Amino acid sequence: MMRTMVAVAVWLPFAAGSLSSQPAAPKANLVRGHVVSSMTGLPVINARVALSPRVRETRTDSLGAFVLKDVPAGVHGIVVTALGFSPARSTVSVVAGLPVVLDVELEPIAPVLERVVTAALVDAPRNAAMEEFESRRAAGLGRYLTRAQLLRDRGRSLEAVLSSRVPGLRIVNDRNAKVAASGRTSGRLSSARACYLNVFVDGVLRYDYIPDIPKEPFDLRTLEASMIAGIEVHTVATLPAEFNLGGNAACGALLIWLQH
């Protein structure tokens, strides 16, 4: 909510916030004031203060202060917005020769993180292949990352998730010119004995490492954790027969199941 002073104090209704008047500065066609948080009373820095339609616009300084100069006389819409706060909207009447002083209190937006996390935890895998995934996981063959585990890494790339979550794997930067020129990190994975895993996405072989044959690796940074329903990492000893494909199957495979 805002309070406006034009010669005398005038209350204007607002969608959010409140106003308090200040002594007017002796300057004509000037709109100035402060923007603060209604919860803490602290200045709101870099808030956008705009008069419409397309009249004047400015930002608050480190003290929450703003000044709009040479504002045309008349009635203008005013909107104050800032990251993390509900916007405040109203109208202001500017009279030639009479400055306007506004004090704006913005209402903080209530945090929603807890509800987001709760919703994420019940976001079950949506991939028909997950029944077989769970069957293999129950048998204890290979290493697995479930949907619930991946959601804890929401926002992280698959490269970062595998590096931190799967012991015994390391991401190897590709040195050939093609990948270096693209600026992408290699998607090759190696086991403790430095052989490269094949990569399957939804059961389809997407990367098959063949020694001495140049081939662009699978880019692990193209997938983010919340996009994935489950991950399996198998050495040759635990590799299911249906994934024993490609020229490097003797090393093992990374199986990625997407969240459909």
My answer on whether 99 and 182 are in the same domain is no
My answer on whether 62 and 13 are in the same domain is yes
- CATH code (residue 75): 2.60.40.1120
Q: Are 86 and 106 in contact (CB under 8 A)?
A: yes
Q: Which domain holds residue 252?
A: 113-258
Q: What is the pLDDT of residue 99?
A: 87
Find the DSSP H helices in the chain.
Answer: 113-121, 130-139, 147-151, 158-165, 177-182
My answer on whether 8 and 82 are in the same domain is yes
My answer on whether 42 and 6 are in the same domain is yes
My answer on whether 89 and 126 are in the same domain is no
Domain end position, chosen among 106, 121, 151 = 106
Judge if pTM exceeds 0.85.
no
My answer on whether 25 and 99 are in the same domain is yes
My answer on whether 41 and 79 are in the same domain is yes
My answer on whether 29 and 117 are in the same domain is no
**Spatial separation of the C-alpha atoms in residues 31 and 54, rounded to whole Å:** 15
Domain end position, chosen among 73, 106, 139 = 106
- CATH code (residue 240): 2.170.130.10
- Cα angle 144-200-239, degrees, rounded to a multiple of 5: 55
Question: Judging by beta carbons within 10 Å of its beta carbon (0-12, 13-18, 19+), is residue 106 exposed, middle or buried?
Answer: buried
**Spatial separation of the C-alpha atoms in residues 48 and 192, rounded to whole Å:** 55
Tens digit of each residue's pLDDT (9 = 90 or more) over 185-202:
334 444 444 577 888 999
> How many structural domains compose the chain?
2
Tens digit of each residue's pLDDT (9 = 90 or more) over 64-119:
999 998 888 888 889 999 988 999 998 888 888 888 898 899 999 876 544 444 44
Q: What is the 3-state secondary structure (H, E, C) of 57-91?
A: EEECCCCCEEEECCCCCEEEEEEEECCCECCEEEE
My answer on whether 238 and 132 are in the same domain is yes
My answer on whether 152 and 217 are in the same domain is yes
Domain end position, chosen among 106, 140, 167 = 106
My answer on whether 137 and 161 are in the same domain is yes
Q: What is the pLDDT of residue 180?
A: 23
- How far from 188 is each of 153, 218, 238, CA to CA, in Å? 21, 7, 19
Quickly count: other Cβ atoms within 10 Å of residue 240's Cβ.
Answer: 14
Tens digit of each residue's pLDDT (9 = 90 or more) over 7-56:
222 233 344 454 444 554 444 588 999 999 998 899 999 999 998 877 78
Tens digit of each residue's pLDDT (9 = 90 or more) over 210-257:
767 766 778 888 889 999 999 999 888 888 988 888 766 677 889 999
